[in-house]
Amino acid sequence: MRICMIGTGYVGLVTGTCLAEVGNHVWCVDVDQRKIEKLQNGEIPIYEPGLEDIVARNVKQGRLQFTTDLKEALDDSLFVFIAVGTPPGEDGSADLSYVFNAAKQIGASMENYKIVVAKSTIPVGTTEKIAGHISQEIASRDRKDLDFDVAFCPEFLKEGSAIDDFMKPDRIVVGTQNSRTAELLKELFSPFCMRENRIISMSIPSAELTKYASNSMLATRISFMNQLARFCEKVGADIDQVRHGMGSDSRIGSAFLYPGVGYGGSCFPKDVKALIHSGIENQSPMTLLESVEEINKTQREWFYQKVLNHYDGDLTGKTLAVWGLSFKPNTDDVREAPALDIIPWLLEKGATVRAYDPVGQENAKAELPKTDSIIYCEDNYQALENADGLLLLTEWLPFRRPEFDRMKELMAGDVIFDGRNQYNPEQMNAMGFVYHGIGRCVL
């Protein structure tokens, strides 16, 4: 099948590439000329394990092409995906201007029947508005002969494992207005669930809400665990034992129950905010999510307060190592990363920070204050040189079982603030570290 993918950001690029990998012909379109040139030269603008190889293979075999010319890409495509950004506006609502612009361009350029599939995360009712914009453009061209259908298919890709998530999905949600579009989309997605049908067909509003509801549910689990971890510290319980005990109930399950320094990234914070905003707009307030957001915000402050309390409120003259700047492992994405909040707070109190991240360093550097008080290091051990304490903010694999003896030798102090509960408190204490985890009280 022939596909036009509008937007070569994270979602568009991964979706377009994976659709090409199973034999479709995909045009990826973007207004950013430099980005398209880079992609044409085989340069991938994002860090995503495995993506570069699949892009190269499909470009070589002629199934994947990049262009800034929407008309060229539209002409022979049946499916047109909209995968442009929906950044949060000032009031927390999703900014839909890029989505509507793409819709208008489709209406202005199409010459034959299209199935326009929205992939960007959009509030309930937006796909219908997309249809309105396309119709308006067609009407202004006086082309009553042109016809189209709209659909909404949310993405559930996790950064760092996006290819696997796309190729082996838990489910594929297809929101359509009629059974013919549903059947065609099922055919398009069937190569990704050959053995077992994982395609769930539903109405467009239900599909739109499924995306927000899924991310908000996961964020709720995390905030619940974070609040519970704070409570554990007050009552002498250990959150890791509680997590294990709870997660073994098959009704609860063990995923997304890990407390830490709060969720970040481009999706959870934005989607929780957007659903809160939609709730208010529709006179059906999402009060639970308001708390989820509040807990996430205060979790970083609570962790920082732990550091501050340890040093009696004054970090002047202290050197603190920070391991992990990206919002989670296996990505260079620092959007809403805990490090971007916590490091400036440490600096404000007079600390010098020695920071290291395996791939997120450059992105973090661009966002953090420009100051000599942040020293970017070449590896995690260099970050520890003469450090009074270590803050572990992202659980990258090399941080999980480091050489503790070497760490002790390099550090001037002996304190570990483990923001991701990676280490065993008893072992840490036995090795002579002063250990602060998240909700850890092991007797």
Provide the binding-site residues for ligand UDX, judged by CB under 6 A: 155-159, 215, 218, 222, 256-258, 260, 263-265, 267-268, 327-328
CB of 351 to ligand UDX, least distance (A): 23
- Residue 65 or 296 with smaller CB distance to ligand UDX: 296
Residue 209: count of CB within 10 angstroms of its CB: 19
DSSP letter assigned to residue 50? T
Q: Is 86 annotated as a binding residue?
A: yes
CB 96 within 8 A of CB 122: yes
Pick from 65, 80, 75: nearest CA to 3: 80
CB of 322 to ligand UDX, least distance (A): 15
Q: Is 354 annotated as a binding residue?
A: no
- Residue 202 or 218 with smaller CB distance to ligand UDX: 218
CB of 256 to ligand UDX, least distance (A): 4
64 exposed, middle or buried (CB, 10 Å; 0-12, 13-18, 19+)?
buried
Q: Is 247 annotated as a binding residue?
A: no
d(CA 376, CA 381): 12
Do the strands 148-152 and 172-176 form a parallel or antiparallel pair, or are they unpaired?
antiparallel
CB 193 within 8 A of CB 81: no
- Residue 70 or 232 with smaller CB distance to ligand UDX: 232
d(CA 105, CA 126): 16
CB of 91 to ligand UDX, least distance (A): 21
- Residue carrying the six token digits 């390099």: 410
CB of 275 to ligand UDX, least distance (A): 13
DSSP, collapsed to helix, strand or coil, labels residue 344 as helix
Q: Is 35 annotated as a binding residue?
A: yes
Q: Is 21 annotated as a binding residue?
A: no
Residue 319: count of CB within 10 angstroms of its CB: 21
- Residue 159 or 238 with smaller CB distance to ligand UDX: 159
Phi-psi region of 44 (alpha: psi -120 to 50; beta: other; left: phi over 0): beta
CB of 101 to ligand UDX, least distance (A): 23
- Residue 1 or 46 with smaller CB distance to ligand UDX: 46
Token pair of 195, please?
């053995």
Q: Is 129 annotated as a binding residue?
A: no
Distances (CA, A) of 191 to 23, 157, 233, 410: 9, 17, 49, 52
d(CA 17, CA 189): 13
Asked about 28 being catalytic, the answer comes back as: no
CB of 263 to ligand UDX, least distance (A): 3
Give the chain's count of helices (H) and strands (E).
17, 14
Distances (CA, A) of 40 to 30, 66, 119, 440: 12, 6, 23, 50
d(CA 321, CA 385): 8
Pick from 212, 221, 231, 219: nearest CA to 124: 212
- Residue 9 or 265 with smaller CB distance to ligand UDX: 265
Q: Is 413 annotated as a binding residue?
A: no
DSSP, collapsed to helix, strand or coil, labels residue 324 as coil
Q: Is 259 annotated as a binding residue?
A: yes
Instruction: Provide Rg for the chain, Cα atoms.
Output: 24
Contacts of 284 (CB under 8 A, 6+ apart): none
Q: Is 157 annotated as a binding residue?
A: yes
- 28, 267, 377, 441: which one is catalytic? 267
Three-state SS for 166-207 is HHCCCCEEEEECCHHHHHHHHHHHHHHHCCCCCEEEECHHHH
- Residue 155 or 332 with smaller CB distance to ligand UDX: 155
Residue ranges for the known binding site for NAD(+) are 30, 35, 86, 121, 159, 270, 335
Would you please indicate which residues are annotated as catalytic (active-site) residues?
Answer: 267
- Known binding-site residue numbers for substrate: 156-159, 211, 256-260, 264, 328
